[in-house]
C-alpha cells in the first residue's frame, strides 16, 4: 500500500503540470458553468420583476376602481376603466367571480381566499412569452377583481435577449480567453527560458545550463531542463575532447615530422644517407600507424551507439586465442616468462578479431614494462586479468591511462603515441564489456577485461 502511494506520488510529481492543468481546466469549467447559470438565473429574476413605480400604478388603478365599485357608481367605474384602456392602450375590466362546485363538492376557505384570475403584481413576468400577461388586483372582498393586461411600456426585460447572449456567450468567451492566456504564459515562460538558453549555447557559451534557473517547478519542465543540461554536458564534453584530441594529435605528429626533416637535411648533405633513409622510413611508418590508430579511435567514438547486432560474432575458444597471441608476443620478448591460468577450454560468443586485438595490445604494452613475468588469468565469470611485474602506475593516474595520447612520463619506455589503451577501451565497450586497471600488491599493473556473461558458452 505504502509502495503504491509512493509510486503514485512520484508519478504525480513527474506529471505535475498535467495534473495541475487538468485541475485548472476541470475546476474552471465547472466554475464557469456554475457562475453562468447563477448569473443568468439571478439576472432573469431581477429583470422579470415589475418596477416599483409600475406596481404602484397598477395598485392605484385597482384601489381607485374598488372605491368606485364600493360606491355603487358603475357608470363612473365604466368611464374610469375606459380611460385606463385608452391611456395605457391595453385591455382592462372589473369582474366578479362566482365559482360553483358541482357534484355536491365544496370549496375550502383556503382555496376561496387565494383564487387569482390573473398574475399578482408582485409576481415575476415570464420574459420568453410573446404576449403581455393579465395582471390581477383583487378587491377586499376577494370576489371582485380589477384585471388589466400589462401595458407594453411596463413590461420588464427590454434588454433581456442582449443580456442573455452576453451572459451565455460573451462572458464565457472572455473568461476562456483569459484562461487560455494564463495557460499560454505558464507554458511559454519556461519555454522562453529554454529558447534563450539554447541561443546562448548555440552562440558558443558552452557552459550554459538551465535546470537550476528555470522558473517552473513542474515535473515536465524540470525534465526538459534536465535533458537540455544533459545534452549540453555531452556536447561540451565532446567539443572539448575534440579540441584536446586535435591538440594532442598535432603535438604527437610534430615530433616524427621534425625527425624526418632533420633526416632529409642530412641525406641531402650526404651525411649517413643510408641510415637517414632508414630513419625516414621508420618515422613514416610511425606516422602512418598514428594516423590509422587515430582514425580507428575517432570511428569508434563516433560509432559508440552501434547496436549489438551490428557486430559480427562467432563462437571460439578464448584459451586458444590467448595462447596463440602469447606465442607471437613471446617470440618478440623472449626474456619475459608468460604464465597462463585458465580452464582447458573456454568457448565464448564474441568477435575474435576485435577481442584478439585488445588482448594483443595489452600484452605488448605489458611486455614493455614487465621485468621478467607476465601472468594471464581467465576466470569462469568472464574476466581476463593480465598482470605484469613492472613498476605500476600512480594511483591517481589509473583512469588517465585510457585517455587518447596519454603516457605516464615517469615510466615511458616506448616510442608509442599513447593510443593503445584508449583503443582497447573503445573496442571492449563495443563488445559490451568493460576494462579497468589497478596496481598489483607486489608492484606491477593488473589490467582486467570483463565480458558479459551472456557471451560465455560454458
Print the domain residue range for 108: 52-155
Note whether 327 and 424 are same-domain residues.
yes
What integer pLDDT is reported at residue 136 of this predicted model?
A: 92
- Which pLDDT belongs to residue 61? 93
Cα–Cα nearest to 166, from 39, 29, 34, 301: 39
pLDDT at position 135: 92
Write out pLDDT tens, residues 138-158: 998 888 899 999 998 888 888
Domain termination site, one of 140, 155, 170: 155
Classify residue 183: in a domain, yes or no. no
Q: Rounded to whole angstroms, how far apart are CA atoms 134 and 387?
A: 113
Supply the pLDDT for residue 410.
44
Confirm whether 185 is domain-assigned.
no
**CB-side exposure of 129: number of CA atoms within 13 Å?**
12
Q: Are residues 301 and 322 in the same domain?
A: no
Q: Running DSSP on this structure, what letter comes out for residue 102?
A: -
Q: Which of 115, 135, 155 is the last residue of a domain?
A: 155
> CA–CA separation, 456 vs 5, rounded Å?
42
285 and 392 both lie in a single domain = no
**pLDDT number for residue 309:** 45
- In sequence order, what are the beta bridge partners of 338? 374
Residue 24 pLDDT > 60: yes
**In this model, does residue 163 exceed pLDDT 50?**
yes
Residue 76 is predicted with a pLDDT of 93
Q: Looking at residue 411, what is its pLDDT? A: 44
What's the confidence (pLDDT) of residue 416? 54
Return mean pLDDT, the chain. Answer: 82
Q: How far is CA 446 from CA 127, 347, 410, 413, in A?
A: 97, 23, 18, 18
| pLDDT on residue 384 | 92
- 8 Å CB contact between 400 and 441: no
H/E segment holding residue 121: none
Mean of pLDDT values over 193-210: 88
Is 343 within 8 Å of 380 (Cβ atoms)?
yes
| Mean pLDDT value across residues 240-260 | 75
**132 close to 119: Cβ distance less than 8 angstroms:** no
Of the residues 259, 278, 309, the one at which a domain ends: 309
Number of domains the chain is built from: 3
Q: State residue 375's pLDDT score.
A: 92
DSSP-derived secondary structure letter, 170: I
Interatomic CA distance for residues 98 and 117, integer angstroms: 11
Is the pLDDT assigned to residue 456 strictly greater than 90? no
CATH number of the domain where residue 395 is located: 3.30.565.10
Q: Is residue 242 part of a domain?
A: yes
Check: CB of residue 167 under 8 Å from CB of residue 38. no
| Mean pLDDT along residues 320-332 | 89
Q: Check pLDDT > 60 for residue 258.
A: yes
Whether residue 197 contacts residue 227, with contact meaning beta carbons closer than 8 Å, is answered with: no
CB 419 within 8 A of CB 301: no
Q: Is the distance from CB of 279 to CB of 267 less than 8 angstroms?
A: no
Per residue in 40-60, pLDDT (tens digit) is: 888 888 888 888 999 999 999
Quote the CA–CA distance of 42 and 38 in Å, as a whole number: 6
pLDDT at 305 exceeding the cut of 50? no
Span 321-325, average pLDDT: 91
Average pLDDT over residues 286-290: 77
Predicted confidence (pLDDT) per residue in 62-110, tens digit: 999 999 999 888 899 999 999 999 999 999 999 988 777 777 777 777 6
Mean pLDDT, residues 199-210 taken together: 87
The label of the residue with cell 392602450 reads 89
Amino acid at each position: 500500500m505504502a509502495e503504491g502511494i509512493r509510486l503514485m506520488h512520484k508519478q504525480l510529481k513527474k506529471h505535475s503540470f498535467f495534473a495541475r492543468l487538468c485541475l485548472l481546466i476541470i475546476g474552471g469549467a465547472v466554475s464557469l458553468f456554475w457562475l453562468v447559470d447563477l448569473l443568468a438565473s439571478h439576472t432573469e429574476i431581477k429583470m422579470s420583476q415589475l418596477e416599483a413605480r409600475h406596481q404602484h400604478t397598477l395598485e392605484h388603478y385597482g384601489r381607485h376602481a374598488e372605491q368606485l365599485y364600493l360606491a355603487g357608481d358603475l357608470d363612473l367605474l365604466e368611464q374610469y376603466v375606459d380611460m385606463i384602456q385608452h391611456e395605457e392602450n391595453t385591455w382592462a375590466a372589473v369582474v366578479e367571480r362566482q365559482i360553483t362546485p358541482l357534484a355536491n363538492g365544496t370549496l375550502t376557505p383556503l382555496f376561496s381566499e387565494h383564487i387569482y384570475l390573473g398574475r399578482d403584481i408582485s409576481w415575476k413576468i415570464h420574459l420568453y412569452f410573446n404576449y403581455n400577461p393579465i395582471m390581477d388586483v383583487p378587491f377586499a372582498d376577494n370576489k371582485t377583481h380589477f384585471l388589466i393586461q400589462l401595458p407594453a411600456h411596463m413590461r420588464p426585460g427590454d434588454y433581456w435577449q442582449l443580456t442573455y447572449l452576453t451572459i451565455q456567450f460573451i462572458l464565457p468567451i472572455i473568461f476562456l480567453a483569459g484562461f487560455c492566456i494564463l495557460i499560454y504564459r505558464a507554458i511559454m515562460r519556461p519555454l522562453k527560458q529554454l529558447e534563450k538558453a539554447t541561443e546562448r549555447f548555440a552562440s558558443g557559451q558552452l557552459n550554459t545550463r538551465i535546470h537550476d534557473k528555470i522558473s517552473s517547478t513542474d515535473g515536465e519542465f524540470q525534465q526538459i531542463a534536465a535533458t537540455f543540461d544533459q545534452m549540453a554536458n555531452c556536447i561540451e564534453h565532446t567539443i572539448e575532447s575534440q579540441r584536446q584530441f586535435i591538440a594532442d594529435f598535432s603535438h604527437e605528429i610534430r615530433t616524427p615530422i621534425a625527425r624526418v626533416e632533420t633526416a632529409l637535411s642530412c641525406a641531402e648533405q650526404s651525411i649517413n644517407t643510408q641510415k637517414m633513409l632508414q630513419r625516414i622510413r621508420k618515422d613514416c611508418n610511425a606516422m602512418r600507424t598514428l594516423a590509422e590508430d587515430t582514425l580507428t579511435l575517432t570511428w569508434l567514438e563516433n560509432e559508440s551507439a552501434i547496436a549489438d547486432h551490428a557486430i559480427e560474432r562467432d563462437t571460439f575458444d578464448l584459451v586458444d586465442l590467448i595462447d596463440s597471441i602469447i606465442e607471437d608476443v613471446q617470440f618478440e620478448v623472449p626474456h619475459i616468462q608468460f604464465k597462463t591460468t585458465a580452464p582447458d577450454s573456454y568457448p565464448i560468443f564474441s568477435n575474435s578479431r576485435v577481442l584478439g586485438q585488445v588482448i594483443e595490445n595489452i600484452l605488448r604494452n605489458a611486455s614493455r614494462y614487465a621485468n621478467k613475468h607476465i601472468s594471464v588469468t581467465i576466470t569462469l565469470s568472464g574476466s581476463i586479468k593480465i598482470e605484469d611485474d613492472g613498476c605500476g602506475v600512480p594511483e591517481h593516474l589509473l583512469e588517465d591511462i585510457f585517455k587518447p595520447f596519454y603516457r605516464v612520463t615517469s615510466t615511458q619506455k616506448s616510442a608509442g603515441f599513447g593510443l593503445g589503451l584508449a583503443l582497447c577501451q573503445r573496442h571492449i565497450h563495443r563488445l559490451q564489456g568493460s576494462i579497468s586497471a589497478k596496481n598489483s600488491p607486489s608492484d606491477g599493473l593488473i589490467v582486467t577485461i570483463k565480458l558479459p556473461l551472456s557471451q560465455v558458452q560454458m
